[in-house]
């Protein structure tokens, strides 16, 4: 393309979940409720696992960081999405778009890694209970979480840099409700082979490694539970990992649905619906999954509310 035949893009226009004007207010209200529940639920988990003395175990340490990741993931996406539901011109600057993509990649990669770490934690707790506090010590917990964040930041920097190293010219309409890799590369007017390769290798590596750790961990967990003779013992062992199993199933189920669709039926509209689920709905569901199915969290919530009421009454 000869110079002068195009103009460089300085801002992008997001089409949103739907371009129908009559759906903007209903969508705003629905997503506002979802985001409100996400913030309340994840802040609740973070607070309880920080202040309650009986939740100072590796499992709840990892759960706290999963809540931080879920809160960050939805906060990177939801505020801008809500604003765009109320304005006619859904624009985002070039650098704002790059920042949003980077932030999204940080939290989505961190979530994939954290779910694998939590699966390993449950494997050690059930298959090697006598060595649990030695194998998953405070130092190991800090190391695993630090590596998770370091890896997610590194992946986000490499991937977002490769996407925004491309030239964007003329067309600036992103067929999505946030800045994502696939719709951005569709707008590029330069060769996209390198960023596509980086994205493919990164996504394949992250998903494959995480899923292998999860599947191997739960394969051994199931074998270990089946060896327990008493039904009460099996039930107790299963209950300690039931919440994580449900969270993993929902998260990976959504990602596999998105990436394993046949090319003939694959569309950006389908990607949007899947993206709504894993950027907004799953971060809202996770606190509910871990709270409603976890006696320790429910007991901690009761203690927290009781102490808060007693403190307010004594003032």
The helix or strand, by DSSP H or E, that contains position 57, with its residue range, turns out to be: none
Kindly state the average pLDDT of the residues 187-200: 89
Segment (H or E) for 126: helix 94-127
Q: Quick count: other Cβ atoms within 10 Å of Cβ 253?
A: 12
Tokens, residue 3: 């110079």
Out of 48-52, 119-123, 196-200, 229-233, pick the least confident: 229-233
What pLDDT score does 314 carry? 61
Stretch 22-29: mean pLDDT: 93
Whether 91 and 11 have beta carbons less than 8 Å apart is answered as yes
CB–CB of 70/42 below 8 Å?
A: yes
Question: CA-to-CA distance for 148 and 289, rounded, in angstroms?
Answer: 22
Class of the CATH domain delimited by 11-261+273-305: mainly alpha
Instruction: Give residue limits of the domains in the chain.
Output: 11-261+273-305
11-14 and 91-93 beta bridge pairing: antiparallel
Residues 6 or more apart whose CB falls under 8 angstroms from that of 52 comprise 300, 303, 304
pTM of the model: 0.91
Which helix (H) or strand (E) segment holds residue 178: the answer is: none
């Amino acid at each position: 393309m000869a110079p002068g035949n195009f103009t460089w893009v300085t801002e992008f226009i997001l089409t949103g979940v739907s371009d129908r004007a009559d759906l903007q207010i209903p969508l705003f209200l629905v997503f506002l409720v979802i985001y409100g529940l996400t913030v309340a639920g994840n802040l609740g988990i973070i607070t309880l696992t920080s202040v309650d003395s009986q939740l100072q175990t590796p499992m709840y340490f990892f759960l706290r960081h999963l809540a931080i990741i879920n809160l960050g993931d939805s906060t990177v996406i939801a505020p801008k999405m809500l604003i765009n539901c109320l304005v006619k011109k859904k624009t985002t600057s070039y650098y704002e778009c790059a920042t949003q993509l980077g932030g999204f990649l940080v939290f989505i990669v961190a979530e994939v890694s954290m779910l694998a770490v939590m699966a390993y934690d449950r494997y050690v707790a059930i298959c090697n209970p006598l060595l649990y506090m030695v194998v998953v010590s405070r130092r190991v917990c800090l190391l695993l979480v630090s590596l998770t964040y370091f890896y997610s930041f590194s992946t986000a920097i490499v991937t977002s840099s490769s996407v925004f190293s491309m030239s964007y010219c003329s067309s600036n309409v992103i067929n999505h409700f946030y800045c994502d890799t696939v719709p951005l590369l569709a707008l590029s007017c330069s060769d996209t082979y390198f960023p596509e390769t980086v994205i493919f290798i990164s996504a394949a590596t992250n998903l494959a490694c995480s899923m292998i750790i999860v599947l191997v961990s739960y394969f051994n967990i199931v074998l270990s539970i089946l060896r327990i003779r008493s039904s009460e013992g099996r039930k107790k062992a299963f209950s300690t990992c039931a919440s994580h199993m449900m969270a993993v199933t929902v998260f990976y189920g959504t990602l596999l649905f998105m990436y394993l669709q046949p090319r003939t039926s694959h569309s950006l509209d389908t990607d949007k619906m899947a993206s709504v689920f894993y950027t907004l709905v799953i971060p809202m569901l996770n606190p509910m999954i871990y709270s409603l199915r976890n006696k320790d969290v429910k007991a901690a919530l009761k203690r927290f509310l009781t102490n808060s009421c007693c403190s307010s009454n004594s003032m």
